[in-house]
Amino acid sequence: MKQALEGVKVADFSWVGVGPIIARILAHHGATVVHIESETAPDPLRALAPYKDNISGLNRCAYHACLNDGKYGVTLNLRHPKAKGVVERFVEWADVVSESFAPGVAARLGISYEDVREVKPDIIMYSSCNLGQTGPHARFRGFGTNLVALVGTTHLTGWPDRMPTPPYGALTDVIAPLFGVSALVAALDYHRKTGKGQYLDLSQFESTVHFLTPLILDYQANGRVAQRTGNTSPYAAPHGVYPCKGHDRWCAIAVHTPEEWKAFCKVIDNPDWTKDPRFSSVLARRRNEEELNRLIGEWTIGLSAEEVMVKMQEAGMAAGVVETPGTIQDNPQLKHRHHYRALEHPEIGLHHYDATPFTLSKTPCDLKMPGPCLGQHNEYVYTKILGISDEEFVALLGEGVFE
Amino acid sequence: MTSKEVFHDVKVVDFTWAGAGPITTKYLADYGATVVRIESRSRPGLLRTTPPYKDGIPGVDRAAYFGIYNPNKYGMTINMNHSQGMELVKRLIAWADVVAESFTVGVMEKWGLSYEEITKIKPDVIMIRTNMQGHTGPHCRLPGTGVNLVGISGYAHLCGWPDRLPSNPYGPYTDTIAPRFGAAMLIAALDYRRKTGKGQLIDVSQFEAGVNFIAPVMMDYFVNGRVANRRGNYSPRAAPHNAYRCKGQDTWCVIAVFTEEEWKAFCEAVGSPDWTKDERFSFFLGRKAHEPELDCFVEEWTLNRTAEEVMALMQAKGVAAGVVETSADLHRDPQLKHRNHFWVMDHRELGSFSYFGQAAVLSGTPAQPRMPSPCLGEHNEHVCREILEMSEAEFDELLVEGVFD
Amino acid sequence: MDEQRQGPLSPCRVLDLTDEKGFLCGRILADLGADVIKIEPPAGDPCRNIGPFYHDIPDPEKSLYWFAYNANKRGITLNIESDDGRGLLSKLVEKAHFVIESFPPGYMDSLGLGYAQLSQMNPAIILTSITPFGQTGPYSRYNASDIVEMATCGLMYLCGDPDRPPVRITFPQAYLHGGADAAVQTLVAHYYRETSGCGQWVDLSIQQAAFMTTFNASWFWELNKINLKRAGAWRTGLTSGVLQRQIWPCKDGYINMPVYGGVLGARTNRLLAEWMDREGMSDDFLRGIDWDNFDMGQLTQEAWSKIEELMVRFFKSHTKEELYSEALRLNIMVYPVSTPKDIAENEQLDSREFWLQIDHPELGETITYPGPAVRASLTPMLVRKRAPHIGEHNEEVYGELGFSRDDLIVLKQSGVV
Amino acid sequence: MSQKDGPLSSCRVLDLTDEKGLFCGKMLVDLGADVIKIEPPGGDPCRNVGPFYRDIPDPEKSLYWLSFNTGKRGITLNIEVSDGRRIFRQLVERADIVIESYEPGYLDSLGLGYSDLSQINPGLILTSISPFGETGPYKDFKASDIVVMALSGYMSLSGDPDRPPVRTSFPIAYCFGAAGAAAGTMIAYYHRELTGEGQWVDASAQQAVASALLNARMHWDLNRVELKRAGPYRVGLSAQGKQLINFRCKDGYVNFVMFGGKTGAKTNRGLTQWMESEGMGSDFMNEIDWDSFDMARVSQDDFDRFEGDIERFFLTRTKSELYEEGSKRGVTIYPISTIRDVFEDPQLEARDFWQRVEHPELDATLLYPGPFVKCSQTQLRPPSRAPRIGEHNQEIYHNELGMSPEELVMLRQAKAI
């Protein structure tokens, strides 16, 4: 099967979230990616649940596996004096070098852009971290779970009468890579046409804040500091999630225009309360939203979330089951889209990986390799790809260069 | 009891002649005003001496042109050069709420009946003066008829074919524009006077009124420097858009296709022949670029059908189309019949004669035909005796004096 | 004094739902001082697509047609097809004096906004409906346009050259006749309401309004069974069958001079003949005509041709400007065929300060508009301000009804305003 | 010499998207492409999406529109009429990429689907952005932000357990889908530049948001453990209890996530010492050997107790104090920023992140987010003003496609542009 990025070679020194996800998307589209780790300082992600059968272990962590599938996994102890030679071989081989340590660490480990450019002047390198390579807070440590708060999304999630509740996990770790891939592929294209490489400084803060631009403008133009408003929307009423049959089952419904309101009333068999003047106009519905939601809940509670969704959609309304981590893999649409691909992991066994959110008609993504165990492809990569002779490989191995 | 007429309490002394003036006062007369027309027996107005005449025989009381604008009005003849004639006129002005005139500028002044003078007789009078080019300005005294004004106000230039001489739209076209503005202002002034007791002078320029109906053309010139020209039946907004010859002698039907849906409906209406599938006509700019050829195809289809059939077939599909109605057609037009557009009343000389009513039907107080148009001086006695409550002796004396000749 | 400056209708409010078929009605009421609120669909009135355009840029905020016939109006957006939209409209109707519309017959009823419903909201309301053929009758459901109105009202058959199709006036006129006539009819109903307190429904047919442009033509048929036809630059209407030229080519354009007999034309014909004589362009025949008893009705074609030939040669030796200024001096009925350029430069209009400069800040300049068609000494028609932008006065008008800015945002997003 | 306007200098994009895809066009603009935003005549409906400049719901004042259309050129075109489709095909001939977000199948119904467009321009890339993808059981589902958040499973994990799941109050699902589409488009573009072969990119917002579940899904996939929303607590780290991560502080809230083992040791120890040095030490925390601290073995009571100590300490300091001082001590405490905090963030300030954009028609200057990646060689294009409705009609239809002003007026009146 043809792949768009066939022939692109990536030396991926990055760890945790954004760096590996960017490289992973390239790998799914044909790039040859080598994920370089170190046993002495393993990827923190390898120490996060869930583990196979809840038994922790560096190679039993699905989190790491699912962000590094499609890559060859090798280990290299960058602090080892002999590591520099191996790094140079990687750079000579690679079109792209990536890292996502805290700013300054790469320089200490000898894989800064200056180091790498000396070996290959037209190399493309990207560094991704929370706050960017420069600036007063560049060295502030933190994961995606922290950045979500800094970027303003946490403040905007939850109920107005309560503390902000965080959107789940490292949301910014999933947004930033989409910016990273776009810029990186553009740089690859530019390099192919001009022969010029470059350095990409991806601040996850500066990319994900783009999603909230309208609120930034709102603050400047109208002095308004946007607040969390639960599930209400200024554009629609009724708008929210409603309790359905079964434990903690919900269905989201959004009614935007007066015509949709009429259709909505028809679906719920036009109960008397729908004629109440308190719900007779868009503005009235917005003002009496709590009562409206309660009354709607009385109808939805009698039906399964799927039934509510189907009834609404058939009448032309936006509605959808609130899927959960436990039900998402059975979602009919995601199944049809072949979004979850099962691969056999040496230690974890058969488990599922997310495909990319876009499908290319002629060069689609292809998930072939599960996440690598630590150093799983050392021999193959160092001897077959980098062309190190067997003897030298064994010697370096003995000296602990590959720990 | 007929429903109350709107202007039952409004009294008008009407000196106007030709078209624009009488059309203006017709609005008041048709809705119940008491309008007294002042004419001259020695010099009957232009419309009384213009064909068509009853049975083709000329006569001041046999002219349709005068008739159609003056139903529901009383007719008097007064010799304005006779001192007692002038006295009678002043008594009428004292009685009147409105004085209307449309002579060449200076005629009323000559008679001492300028607005300043008549306010001495009736302080709260409303005077409406309809003139060719307004009441002031260097050219206001130039005599002329509506037909002249059609040229100077741009309508001759904008009517006809680009490759031929300008051609006047029929008749004194601008005479149908000024009266609307004049009547609107007059009625508003009447309403204002009823509330405040204040009359005023209204100066209607037919030239300026006419220019208001081509305002965008003038602004196009001012803003874009473009001098718009006559372009036959061309429209930048539709194609096909023309008058198409139909079966029969000099019969035509216009068809106007604007939107894509209407084009599809038009193609169905003409039976979707091959030419409607021609790629050149498949989009609007294509239809415009090949409009002459398109018109030929359309006319090939209309030539085999009467104008009425073409209109019916098109309208059935929602496409704008209409018979180019001749005078004969107008008098048998089913829609005009339904709207009882024509008021048939018996006239002493014209016999059973069709006047035309108002263009709107008011649900509560519709315009009503009350009287046929007056013969010359027909109501001299009625006005003097009934309206001005003159004694019979006084009236006879005026008669003898020749005040009414 | 300023109360008069506001115009005789100043306290009244008009809700203007019309499209191009009725713009001029609202414009006249606005010129008379009424507070006319143009109600457009949320995305703006489709008639903003009608040219010509400012600098030929076809932008909905640059239509000169829109500028011309919606000046003096305030503008709001409202979707009357939605329940909420109708709710807002009924609030507006309660405080309004007039509602004018030009939807197909039955459309307002279908929305529950027909005269019956409106008069319940406001018994004194006057509803003016402007439609191609009126609310009822065989043609009432017909789809019409300017050319269809010009055809069915009888004018087209009388215009153009005999050897070509009937022709309409190039710049559409029918809807202007309809709108202007509707303004008068509306004022008649207004006058009645101010005494009786009762509103009513005014049902205006554009075909009937435009009928007036045929003048006495159709009576040739009624009285003499003659079907008058178009005759181009020549004059019809006379029984003698002699085709008299009305439009005369001159050096730089055309002159419009129908020759009248009798008293009306005597002085002009005489002075014109003398003027031609002074320039050596007359002949014994012309000098011999007794203009006082000159009767167009009895004229033979041969005699007319001789006169015509002389006049054609004479007019061709002068420009429009020369002919008209001399006509003014002699005070005779010789008029130019003006092009828009001539009208723009016309001395009479300039001296009466007919052209007005209306400010268009959004275009960064003022635009010249024709002034009002009527002047009045006490409560004049005034052209006060430019036509509204889309939704320009939403906040003002809906603010009066108690809607806040936030409400307006919600209403905007749900497609109500 | 570095390029100032992004790596994609000679790439032309036709942007037909609505709110589901605007962001994709914006990213391509930032990367240097010439993106032409094609709106229906009258402007894009999503110009009605708030917030608005000065809260005035005017289509030219939508801050939403201004945010996600920076740097695009704007034209109006109606692809539902034949003339519109002809012009669109002409534009496609000169384009590299077309992005759209209509209902799946809509373009095919107009004869403008991928199979049609690729005949006109084989190298063309068509990117279709939709809530659920172009195929599959949900492809015709009506969607909105909350529905995509629900059907992606992501929403189930946020909010308090005693209340319904809750989405982020500002819609981000569509930006998510559009950003994914941009990445896919770039990969397809790379392939096209190499091989000349265009293709169809089918991007799904649901899949983009679903990938944010990350390890929550894996808990079920591996061990059939279903994580639940837990308000300001965090689940999924220690299999036992819930761990507070949002704490109140003096002027709002801060985010402090405690990790076990080596990862968290430095931070946890730093905090314990900091609290102790401020006389607000926690007995419990002082005794813990942070290096071997295993979250899994901490009882919920212990968690609650020391979390109370931590919050008491945080309440004595502001967000920025905890953030700045914490960082000096290696203690990772992030402020839960409001939009104002983000706007005034010193890090963004120092990196000149906010860039001025003039808005002459609003007579305002607003600061916009700068490049989403800093590139040493091909700096991304700085933001510039979003287009007004039809602002570049002349530039493209007249100057580029050679249409005359008359044709443009005709097309406007035919509702094609």
Q: Report pLDDT digits (tens) over A177-236.
A: 999 999 999 999 999 999 999 999 999 999 999 999 999 999 999 999 999 999 999 888
CA atoms within a 13 Å half-sphere pointing along the CA-CB vector of A231: 31
pLDDT at B2: 44
**Residue ranges of chain B whose pLDDT lies below 50:** 1-2
Does the pLDDT of residue D9 top 90, yes or no?
A: no
Q: Which of C364, C366, C365 is nearest to C355 (CA)?
A: C366
For residue C240, what pLDDT is reported? Answer: 59
Arch. (CATH architecture) of B241-327: 2-Layer Sandwich (3.30)
Residues of A with CB under 8 A from a CB of C: 234-236, 256-259, 261-262, 280-283, 286
Of the residues A233, A266, A282, the best mutation for testing chain C's interface (the one with the most C CB atoms within 10 Å of its CB) is: A282
> CB distance A187–D66 less than 8 Å?
no
All CATH 3.30.1540.10 domain ranges of chain A, comma separated, are 239-322
Distance CA C215, CA C158 (A): 11
Mean pLDDT over C196-208 rounds to 95
User: How large is the C-alpha radius of gyration of chain C?
Assistant: 26
| Main-chain phi, psi angles of C63, to 5 degrees | -85, 120
Same domain for D296 and D373, yes or no, is: no
Kindly give the interhelix angle for C23-31 and C174-196, rounded to the nearest 10 degrees.
50
Determine, for residues D82 and B283 on separate chains, whether the beta-carbon distance falls below 8 Å.
Answer: yes
On the 0-12 / 13-18 / 19+ scale of CB atoms within 10 A, B382 is middle
Q: Is D3 within the bounds of a domain?
A: no
Q: Which of D305, D339, D373 is the last residue of a domain?
A: D339
Tell whether D334 and D356 lie within a shared domain: no
- Chain B: give the shortest CA distance to residue C410, in Å: 33
Q: What is the pTM of this model?
A: 0.89
Say whether pLDDT at A133 is over 60.
yes
Q: How does D213-228 read in b/e, with b if 16+ C-beta sit within 10 Å?
A: bbbbbbbbbbbebebb
8 Å CB contact of A280 and C413: no
Compute the half-sphere exposure of residue D170: CA atoms within 13 Å on the CB side of its CA. 25
Together in a domain, D103 and D131: yes
In a domain, D239, yes or no: yes
Decide: B14 and B35 in contact? Cβ < 8 Å.
yes
Mean pLDDT value across residues C170-192: 96
pLDDT at C245 over 80: yes
Q: How far apart are CA C25 and CA C28, in angstroms?
A: 5
Residue B82 CA to residue B90 CA, distance in Å, equals: 13
ipTM above 0.85, yes or no: yes
pLDDT value of position C241: 65
Dihedral angle computed from the Cα positions of residues B151, B156, B158 and B164, in that order, rounded to the nearest 10 degrees: -140
Q: What is the pLDDT of residue C415?
A: 87
Other CB atoms within a 10 A radius of the CB of residue D277 amount to: 10
- Asked if A329 and A355 count as a contact pair (C-beta separation under 8 A), the reply is no
| Cβ neighbours of A235 in C, within 8 Å | 410, 413-414
Q: Rg for chain D (alpha carbons), in Å?
A: 26
D265 and D160, same structural domain?
no
pLDDT band at C1 (very low <50, low <70, confident <90, very high): very low
Q: What is the H or E stretch that residue C306 is in?
A: helix C301-316
Find where tokens 């109350």 sit. Answer: B4
For residue C70, count CB atoms less than 10 angstroms from its CB and return exposed for 0-12, middle for 13-18, buried for 19 or more: buried
The average confidence (pLDDT) of chain C is 92
Q: How far is CA C182 from CA A93, B151, B342, C128, C380, in A?
A: 84, 26, 19, 7, 20
Query: Which residues 339-398 in chain D show a CB within 8 A of chain C?
Result: 389-390, 393-394
Q: What residue numbers bound the domain in which D276 lies?
A: 229-339
- Confirm whether D398 is domain-assigned: yes
> Residue D52 gets which letter from DSSP?
B
| Inter-residue contact A284 to D112 (CB < 8 Å) | no
* Nearest residue, CB atoms, A281 vs list C87, C413, C415: C87
Q: Do C371 and B226 touch (CB under 8 A)?
A: no
Specify the 3-state DSSP secondary structure of B232.
coil
Q: What is the pLDDT of residue B217?
A: 96
User: Residue B85 has which token pair?
Assistant: 């004639």
**pLDDT at residue C414 in the model:** 85
- Whether the CA torsion A126, A128, A132, A137 is positive or negative: it is negative
Instruction: Look at phi and psi of residue C191 and say left if phi exceeds 0, alpha if psi is from -120 to 50, else beta.
Output: alpha
- Amino acid in position C347: E
Lowest mean pLDDT segment, chosen from A50-54, A361-365, C46-50: A50-54
Do residues C88 and C414 touch, judged by C-beta distance below 8 A? Answer: no
Which residues contact residue A270 at a Cβ distance below 8 angstroms, ignoring those fewer than 6 apart?
A: none
D111 close to D79: Cβ distance less than 8 angstroms? no
Of B238, B210, B197, B42, residue with least CA distance to B130:
B210
Q: What is the pLDDT of residues A161-170, one digit of tens each?
A: 999 998 988 9
Q: Which residues of C touch A256 (CB under 8 A)?
A: 413-414
Q: Which helix (H) or strand (E) covers residue C250, if one does?
A: strand C247-250
- CATH homologous superfamily of A9-210+339-398: Crotonobetainyl-coa:carnitine coa-transferase; domain 1 (3.40.50.10540)
List C-alpha distances in Å: D102 to D83, D105, D133, D142, D289: 20, 8, 11, 11, 58
CATH code linked to domain B11-213+339-401: 3.40.50.10540
Q: What is the domain count for chain D? A: 2
Tokens 């002698």, residue located: B249
Is D223 part of any domain? no
Provide the mean pLDDT of chain D.
92
The residue behind tokens 């493209």 is D396
Q: C350 falls in which pLDDT band (50, 70, 90)?
A: very high
Domains present along chain C, CATH in parentheses:
2-212+353-413 (3.40.50.10540), 233-344 (3.30.1540.10)
Q: Is A276 considered catalytic here?
A: no
Q: Could you tell me where in chain A the CATH 3.40.50.10540 domains are found?
A: 9-210+339-398
Q: How far apart are CA A214 and CA D68, in angstroms?
A: 8
CATH number at A239-322: 3.30.1540.10
Burial C264-302 (b: 16+ CB within 10 A, else e): bbbbbbbbbbebbeeeebbeeebeeeebeebebeebeee
Contact assignment for C84 to A262 by CB distance below 8 Å: no
> Element (H or E) spanning D65, and its range?
helix D63-68
Least Cα distance to A321 among D161, D154, D211 occurs for D154
Answer whether A356's CB lies under 8 Å from A366's CB: no
What percent of chain D clears pLDDT 70, i.e. is strictly above it? 98
Handedness of CA D256, D262, D263, D266 (dihedral sign): positive
- Tell me whether residue D344 is in a domain: no
pLDDT at C231: 85
Residues in B 235-254 with any Cβ partner in C closer than 8 A:
235-238, 241-245, 250, 252-254
- Asked whether the predicted pLDDT for residue C206 surpasses 70, the reply is yes
Query: For the purposes of burial, counting CB atoms within 10 Å of the CB of C110, is it exposed (0-12), middle (13-18) or buried (19 or more)?
Result: exposed
- Tokens 């609030």 belong to residue: C91
In angstroms, the CA A26 to CA A41 distance is 25
D406/B contact by beta carbon, under 8 A: yes
Distance from C-alpha of A122 to C-alpha of A95, rounded to nearest angstrom: 8
Q: Is D344:D319 a contact under the CB 8 Å cutoff?
A: no
* DSSP single-letter state for residue C48: G
**CA proximity to D405, closest of C52, A113, C385:** C52
Whether C330 shows a pLDDT value over 60: the answer reads yes
Q: D34: distance to nearest CA of chain A, Å?
A: 14
Interface contact flag, B172 C69, Cβ < 8 Å: no
Provide the residue type at C320 as one letter: K
DSSP annotation of D167 reads -
D218 domain residue, yes or no: no
- Name the domain boundary from D339, D366, D397: D339
User: D25 - beta bridge partners?
Assistant: none
Identify the domain boundary among D339, D366, D400: D339
Residue C144 has a pLDDT of 94
Domain boundaries, chain B: 11-213+339-401, 241-327
**Which pLDDT score, from 0 to 100, does residue C413 have?**
87
Is residue D283 classed exposed, middle or buried when 0-12, 13-18 and 19+ CB atoms within 10 A define those classes? exposed
Determine the Cα–Cα distance for residues B170 and B324; give it in Å rounded to an integer.
14
- In a 10 Å sphere around its CB, with 0-12 CB exposed, 13-18 middle and 19+ buried, how is residue A66 labelled? buried
Instruction: Report the residue of chain B nearest D81, measured CA to CA.
Output: B260
Q: Using H for helix, E for strand and C for coil, what is the string for chain A?
A: CCCCCCCCEEEECCCCCHHHHHHHHHHHCCCEEEEEECCCCCCHHHHCCCEHHHCCCCCCEHHHHHHHCCCEEEECCCCCCCHHHHHHHHHHHCCEEEECCCCCHHHHCCCCHHHHHHHCCCCEEEEEECCCCCCCCCCCCCCHHHHHHHCCCHHHEECCCCCECCCCCCHHHHHHHHHHHHHHHHHHHHHHHHCCCCEEEEEHHHHHHHHHHHHHHHHHHHCCCCCCCCCCECCECCEEEEEECCCCEEEEEECCCHHHHHHHHHHCCCCHHHHCHHHCCHHHHHHCHHHHHHHHHHHHCCCCHHHHHHHHHHCCCEEEECCCCCCHHHCHHHHHCCCEEEEEECCCEEEEEECCCEEECCCCCCCCCCCCCCCCCHHHHHHHHCCCCHHHHHHHHHCCCCC
* Residue found under tokens 């810029």: A183
Is residue D2 predicted with pLDDT exceeding 80?
Answer: no
Q: Are C31 and C42 in contact (CB under 8 A)?
A: no
User: Is D82 within 8 Å of B259 when comparing Cβ atoms?
Assistant: no
Count the alpha carbons within 13 Å of C383 in the hemisphere toward its beta carbon: 24
Bridge-partner residues for A12, per DSSP?
Answer: A35, A98
Does the pLDDT value for residue C15 go beyond 80?
A: yes
| Token reading at C357 | 């400069």
* DSSP state, residue C216: T
Residue of A12, A43, A115, A173 marked catalytic: A173
The C-alpha atoms of residue A111 and residue A199 are separated, in whole angstroms, by 12
- Rounded (10°) CA dihedral D152, D242, A166, D247: 180
D355-368 tens-digit pLDDT: 999 999 999 999 99
Place of tokens 């630059």: C233
